[in-house]
A and B are shown apart, each in its own frame.
Chain A
Amino acid sequence: QQQVKQSPQSLIVQKGGISIINCAYENTAFDYFPWYQQFPGKGPALLIAIRPDVSEKKEGRFTISFNKSAKQFSLHIMDSQPGDSATYFCAASRTDSWGKLQFGAGTQVVVTP
């Protein structure tokens, strides 16, 4: 049973465009929602994270939007660059569950020049 559902599976965006990736969760006990970026042959690297007490968090060109009532959160990559081409994973964890992460299936983003 996948606890975090991620879409789309892949997307292609032109340089300078906006990439949007969506995730939905069922478990209302989740209280930490990170996004990870992974390049081929590498481990995931934390990009940005949010807690449910805020609706939006921005770090540089990356923004998380969080909708607690809808149990959804999304990653927006502004001014997408070819170097952003990677696989992005959303995840969720619970404070009372040792912080183990439940990951989405991933979105492969390709930024064309």
Chain B
Amino acid sequence: DTGVSQDPRHKITKRGQNVTFRCDPISEHNRLYWYRQTLGQGPEFLTYFQNEAQLEKSRLLSDRFSAERPKGSFSTLEIQRTEQGDSAMYLCASSLDRTSGMNNEQFFGPGTRLTVL
């Protein structure tokens, strides 16, 4: 399967614990996005990477959240001191840079569902 993969698919944790999610984008894609989706809502943008550089962070991304994309390949999203309000589906998407002539088609992974007890 050459699509976007995310791990784990489900994570249950207790309030106050730290969690880390991983995203493996489509191999040739240099753009990587993280979104958060709560029940009954559309995905909300969290952060964006162009290769290994984190170029934009949403105000939704509090200082308890940190994302990395070392070497411009896979990415990790860490949430420290989790709160019940962090419970959501965390989606990763990747795309090719528009300057390459391709459109901005973003391919989404299956998501990681986080439940904070």
Per-position binary interface string of chain B over residues 86-100, scored 1 when its CB falls under 8 Å from any chain A CB and 0 otherwise: 000001010100100
Residues of B within 8 A of A34 (CB): 105-106
* Interface contact B56-A100, CB-CB below 8 Å: yes
Other-chain residue from B42, B48, B105, B110 in contact with A98 (beta carbon distance below 8 A):
B48
* A11 touches B (CB below 8 Å): no
* Count of chain B residues with a beta carbon within 8 Å of a chain A beta carbon: 28
Bound form: Cα–Cα A28–B50 in Å: 25
Closest-by-CB residue of A relative to B41 is A105
- B-contact bits for A31-45, CB 8 A (1 contact / 0 none): 010101000011111
A97 to chain B, nearest CB (A): 8
Q: Scan residues 99-113 of chain B and give those whose CB is less than 8 A from a CB of chain A.
A: 103-111, 113
Contacts of A45 in B (CB 8 A): 108
Min Cβ gap B6→A in Å is 8
Interface string of A79-113 (1 = CB under 8 A from B): 00000000001010101011111111110000000
With beta carbons under 8 angstroms apart, the residue of B40, B98, B110 that contacts A42 is B110
Q: Given A99-B95, A106-B40, A106-B41, does the pair A43, B110 have CB atoms closer than 8 Å?
A: yes
Which A residues contact B (CB, under 8 angstroms)? 6, 32, 34, 36, 41-46, 49, 89, 91, 93, 95, 97-106
Name B residues whose Cβ lies closer than 8 Å to a Cβ of A. 4, 31, 33, 35, 40-45, 48, 50, 55-56, 91, 93, 95, 98, 103-111, 113
Which 7 residue pairs are nearest across A and B when measured between Cβ atoms? Answer: A103-B42, A43-B108, A99-B104, A100-B45, A98-B48, A43-B110, A44-B108
| Additional 10 contacts, C-beta under 8 A, given A101-B106, A103-B42 | A43-B91, A43-B108, A45-B108, A46-B105, A98-B55, A99-B98, A100-B33, A100-B45, A101-B43, A102-B45
